[in-house]
Amino acid sequence: MGYQFDWSLVLTGEYRDWLLDGFVLTLKISALAGVCALALGTLVAVMRLSRVKPLEWLSLAFTEFFRNTPLLVQIFFWYFGSEAFLPKAVNVWLYKQDFEFAAGTIALTVYSSAFIAEELRSGVFSIPKNQLEASRATGLNFLQAYRYVILPQAFRIVIPPLISQLLNLLKNSSLVMTIGVMELTYQARQVESFTFHGFEAFTVATLLYLAVSLSVSFAITMYNKHFLHQLRY
């Protein structure tokens, strides 16, 4: 007996709803972790560039540690290990919330922020030194100079690599299924277990990932075309 394709199985009814729920959760966890990773990554990059030695070392240790260990291990670490190092009250509170979602978000945030910090740092390096000098010479302090002069320019330059990091994050978010976050890959797996129609379920999941990735890439390329032209020195 050959494999019988049954597309209506995954495109209608309960199984379709599972996949859609999973898709929404994928978008949610990716968006939340993405925003947090941008903030944390910026902080880590600024620390690295601060010329304050202890902050530089801390930032270097952070990026090297999280970039050079497998994401899956990190996810397990946050999920199974948080009990050991977070205060008990925080853990109790976390368990009452959606603990899987929280641990998954933290893992994805921290992991992605290490890559984002590196992209930002190289973006900042590509800004001519005299921009910092010119802004400091008007009396702006270090943080103001970064906030108003260096980072806005760096962000424009790093938008293409940043977006590819955020799309990596979207794809990496499939790994949090391993700790029971019911996102798209998890749901596709569920459909497969219930129906044995894995091909259809994972095809739908693949197309959904692809649709988001491609449309984000496209939107950003357009945005970028519009904004990068200003940056001539």
Partner 1 sequence: MAFIEINGLHKWFGSFHVLRGITNQVEQGEVLVICGPSGSGKSTLIRCVNRLEEYQKGTIFFDGRDIHDPGMDVNSLRAEIGIVFQQFNLYPHLSVLKNVTLAPTKVRGVPRAEAEEMGLALLERVGIHDQAHKYPAELSGGQQQRVAIARALAMKPKCMLFDEPTSALDPEMINEVLNVMKDLARDGMTMLCVTHEMGFAREVADRVIFMDAGEVLEEAPPLEFFTNPTHERTKLFLKEIL
Footprint on this chain of partner 1 (rule: CB under 8 A): 128, 130-131, 133-141, 144, 148-149, 152-153, 156, 229-233
The answer to whether the CB of 40 falls within 8 A of the CB of 113 is: yes
Q: How far is the CB of 156 from partner 1 (least distance, A)?
A: 7
Single out the residue of 204, 59, 28, 36 nearest to residue 124, CA to CA.
Answer: 59
Q: How far is the CB of 34 from partner 1 (least distance, A)?
A: 23
Q: How far is the CB of 167 from partner 1 (least distance, A)?
A: 25
Give the chain's end-to-end CA distance (angstroms, integer): 68
Q: How far is the CB of 152 from partner 1 (least distance, A)?
A: 5
For partner 1, the closer of residues 211 and 231 by Cβ is: 231
Q: Which two tokens stand for residue 84?
A: 């050991």
For partner 1, the closer of residues 72 and 140 by Cβ is: 140
CB neighbours of 100 closer than 8 A, spacing ≥ 6? 79, 176, 179, 180, 181
For partner 1, the closer of residues 60 and 140 by Cβ is: 140
Calpha distance 37→43 (Å, rounded): 10
The answer to whether the CB of 217 falls within 8 A of the CB of 171 is: no
For partner 1, the closer of residues 137 and 214 by Cβ is: 137
